[in-house]
Amino acid sequence: MNVRAHMSMLFHLDKCIGCHTCSVACKNLWTDRKGAEYMWWNNVETIPGAGYPTQWQDQQRYRGGWEWDGETLRLRLHSKAGGLMKLFYNPALPELDNYYEPFTFRYQDLFNAPAGDDQPTAIPISKITGEPMEIKTGPNWDDDLGGSNTYAWNDQNFANLPETVRVQMQELERVVFNYLPRICNHCLNPACVAACPSGAIYKRAEDGVVLVNENKCRAWRMCIAACPYKKVYYNWSTGKSEKCILCFPRLETGQATACAHSCVGRIRYLGVLLYDADRLPQTAMVRDGELIDAHRDVILDPFDPQVIEAARANGIEDSWISAAQDSPAYKFVKLWKLALPLHPEYRTIPMMYYIPPLSPIVSVIEEELYRLDVSEDIRDFELFDRVEAARIPIQYLANLFSAGNGTIIEAIIRKLLAVRIYMRRKTVDGVIDEKTLALLEEAGTNAEEVEAIYKLTTQPNMADAFVIPQYHRESAIEAWNDPLVHKGETGLGYIQPPHRGE
């Protein structure tokens, strides 16, 4: 057993209101620079939708992630020799228009325009060329199903849904959407690291953050195509790759990441997961339907004495082990089995997790009146017995979060519904009857667990939601340098601005 610790984030999709505050916090902190204007290390996209960059899930086009043929695991992008042959031109690389051309407006025109009959306008200016441009697309162009004929109905995750379901979803009465916040997944088997010819990208052992060493990056740009989530970006100005750094300077000083800290809906949780690095091959190389089980297996129980011993042997501090025991990520992912990784079939073993969203209550039109779709024989109008009738098709969620395995999604949805039904009985009716307890059992849970899920879902305070252990940077410094020498060095020396080379 080779125990390593990982800082993971959890997104409770039911709570996301799609306000993009996370994206703005991230942009203001990290990507508000020349060459980075078009980058959104954190973005929130509407599902169903085309996403950002457009159609990023189309791996036939972008060739991201890994392929498993039953025996060997291969990068979908290239073999090592093949990658070196494609350095001069990488056919799978997205171009700027797949994201959007960043723009601003010439605001001075509003003040400097000569007096006239018309209102002056501020014309859009390209942030790249500095010249006037026509805006064709922009960040979140398809927000809230905008332009859904072009975007949402071409969502890759509809691919194996029956035609009837797809047609239904386009009807105004059945139309449904949700939000999907996305950051770098800081994968355990990152395709970007594997694809980098320079070896500039690496995974930090102590918390699993995947980082680009920009001093080693040579702009071969294979990482950008290889990342199936398209979360590595090319800075066209400096000629270097950049990506989400999980706000490690904040984590190291005990603060939550900017996106999590600013989250209005408080959908984000941060916590440590312990995993077994020796089991990674078994986790990535199983059939699609078994990926989630394998993924849950690689995460270790932080209360298991053997695990604790192995963790200590690997140099994981006790503060990290106790953080792993308190981790909301551990509870939602492993204990309650409610949270799933995004697109596990890319086999990068992503370490950011999502709790799938519940659907709005189904209604029907009868005599031109909207009615809840409830009949006598149904126990609850949440459709506990008919999750397949949910407005977000189970198969659609399965395509996103469980490599197409619908039974995993159904179990999660039923458990989430059980929490709702139980709490409604408790707070509205005031009594928990036998029927409700039977329903909990059917959902594979019990009253105690339901209460715990309810509490962590609805009422977490900051210390519950963000369990950030001490990073002990001092010991990292000690490993490299004499602390007294280091103390004398800080604040001195020349700083080289990250400017484009000649």
Instruction: Tell me which residues touch another protein (CB under 8 A).
Output: 75, 80-81, 83-84, 87-91, 93-96, 128-131, 189-190, 193-194, 196-199, 201-206, 214-221, 224, 234, 236-240, 314-315, 472, 475-476, 478-479, 482-483, 496, 498-502
The alpha-carbon radius of gyration of the chain (Å, integer) is: 24
Dihedrals phi, psi of 408, to nearest 5 degrees = -65, -45
CB of 499 to another protein, least distance (A): 7
6 vs 331, beta carbon nearer another protein: 6
Cα–Cα distance measured from residue 320 to residue 317, given in angstroms and rounded to the nearest whole number? 5
- Only one residue has tokens 């020498």, namely 485
> How many beta carbons lie within 10 A of that of residue 146, not counting itself?
13
CA 456 → CA 50, 267, 341, 387, distances in Å? 32, 11, 19, 24
CB nearer another protein, residue 58 or residue 410: 58
Nearer to another protein, 294 or 349 (CB): 349
Closest CA to 38 of 113, 125, 122, 99: 99
Could you check whether the bond before residue 53 is cis, i.e. omega within 30 degrees of 0?
Answer: yes
142, two tokens:
């398809």
Is 341 strand, coil or helix? Answer: strand
SS3 at position 395: helix
The SS3 assignment for 130 reads coil
Residue 230 or 331 with smaller CB distance to another protein = 230
Given the complex with another protein, which of 48 and 190 has the nearer CB atom?
A: 190
> Residue 88 CB, nearest distance to another protein (Å)?
4
Toward another protein, which CB reaches closer, 220 or 466?
A: 220
Q: How far is the CB of 480 from another protein (least distance, A)?
A: 8
Q: Looking at beta carbons only, is 85 or 389 nearer to another protein?
A: 85
3-state secondary structure at position 114: coil
Q: Are 103 and 124 in contact (CB under 8 A)?
A: yes
Q: What's the min distance (Å) between Cβ of 150 and another protein?
A: 22
Residue 397 phi/psi, 5-degree rounding, is -65, -35
Nearer to another protein, 87 or 135 (CB): 87
Q: How far is the CB of 485 from another protein (least distance, A)?
A: 11
CB of 474 to another protein, least distance (A): 10
CB of 82 to another protein, least distance (A): 11
Minimum CB distance to another protein, residue 223 (Å): 12
CA angle 351, 354, 360 (to 5 degrees): 170
